[in-house]
């Protein structure tokens, strides 16, 4: 089969959640990962089985995301601090989202030291930190302060990609007026599906199987 250029997209819905003092509502498909109610995640998948049946490998050449909109956070009525950590990940192996979220709080991420995930499995990874800017008179607005990529962009021959958004709410507390607004997002993977030599392809499948079973 000839080389095939493709652009794959993973869609994540917006999160406009409010807290009633005990639970969050308006999750819109997102899940709360921790008992404190400060870690959230959404996941979806990209089906590559049609290409894997043709023994084709994906060679990514452009990875990114689109999330038009603003991020809003309200913890308590008189917070000393409000912020967010947002992590976007596309990987060739499934992840324990609670473990990854906790790792993020500790200042690490998938593919780094202290992580159970191999760097080569992280096709796309972006970390962003948002914090309150009191100079901007927009209620509950948090501003982007840091953005960092941590992906490998490695070729893969798996039949499925796992796509995640993980959000950590950094606040001094929650009350019945707490709220969180995260815009909808499109994660993008552009690349070429191509056939490799049989030996190289079989080695890639073997390595992928080993990595999946290490998790």
Q: What mean pLDDT is predicted for residues 162-176?
A: 91
Backbone angles phi, psi at 32, to 5 degrees: -90, 130
- The predicted structure's pLDDT at residue 204: 66
Global pTM reads 0.89
Identify the domain containing residue 81 by its residue range. 4-214
Q: How many CA atoms lie within 13 A of 85 on its CB side?
A: 17
Q: Does residue 198 carry a pLDDT above 80?
A: no
Ramachandran region, residue 38 (left: φ > 0; alpha: ψ -120 to 50; beta: rest):
alpha
Question: Given pLDDT bands bounded at 50, 70 and 90, which one contains residue 75?
Answer: confident
The 10s digit of each residue's pLDDT in 112-122 is 887 888 898 99
pLDDT for 137 = 85
Model confidence at 14, in pLDDT bands (50, 70, 90)? very high
Does residue 38 have a pLDDT over 80?
yes
pLDDT computed for residue 115 by the predictor: 81
Quick one: average pLDDT of 11-33? 95
> What pLDDT does 206 receive?
66
Q: How many domains does the chain have?
A: 1
CB contact at 8 A, 165 and 185: yes
Residue 214 predicted with pLDDT over 70: no
Q: Where are any strands of DSSP class E within the chain?
A: 4-12, 15-19, 24-25, 31-32, 39-47, 56-66, 72-74, 82-91, 122-132, 142-149, 160-171, 179-182, 185-195
| Residue whose structure tokens are 């994906």 | 58
In this prediction, residue 84 has a pLDDT band, given cuts at 50, 70 and 90, of very high
The arithmetic mean of pLDDT across residues 97-101, rounded, is: 85
């Amino acid at each position: 089969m000839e080389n095939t250029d493709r652009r794959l997209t993973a869609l994540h819905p917006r999160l406009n959640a409010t807290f009633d003092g005990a639970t969050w509502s308006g999750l819109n498909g997102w899940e709360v990962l921790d008992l404190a109610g400060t870690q959230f995640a959404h996941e979806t998948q990209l089906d590559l089985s049609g290409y894997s049946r043709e023994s084709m490998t994906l060679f990514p050449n452009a990875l990114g995301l689109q999330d038009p909109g603003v991020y809003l956070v309200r913890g308590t009525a008189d917070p000393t601090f409000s912020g967010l950590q947002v992590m976007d990940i596309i990987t060739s192996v499934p992840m324990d989202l609670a473990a990854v979220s906790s790792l993020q709080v500790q200042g690490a991420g998938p593919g780094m030291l202290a992580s159970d995930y191999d760097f080569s499995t992280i096709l796309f990874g972006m970390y962003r930190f948002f914090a309150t800017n009191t100079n901007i008179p927009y209620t509950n607005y948090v501003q982007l302060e840091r953005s960092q990529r941590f992906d490998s962009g490695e070729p893969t021959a798996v039949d499925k990609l796992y796509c995640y958004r993980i959000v950590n709410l950094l606040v001094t507390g929650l009350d019945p007026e707490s709220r969180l607004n995260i815009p909808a997002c499109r994660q993008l993977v552009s690349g070429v599906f191509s056939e490799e030599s049989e030996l190289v392809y079989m080695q890639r499948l073997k390595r992928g199987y080993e990595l999946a079973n290490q998790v």
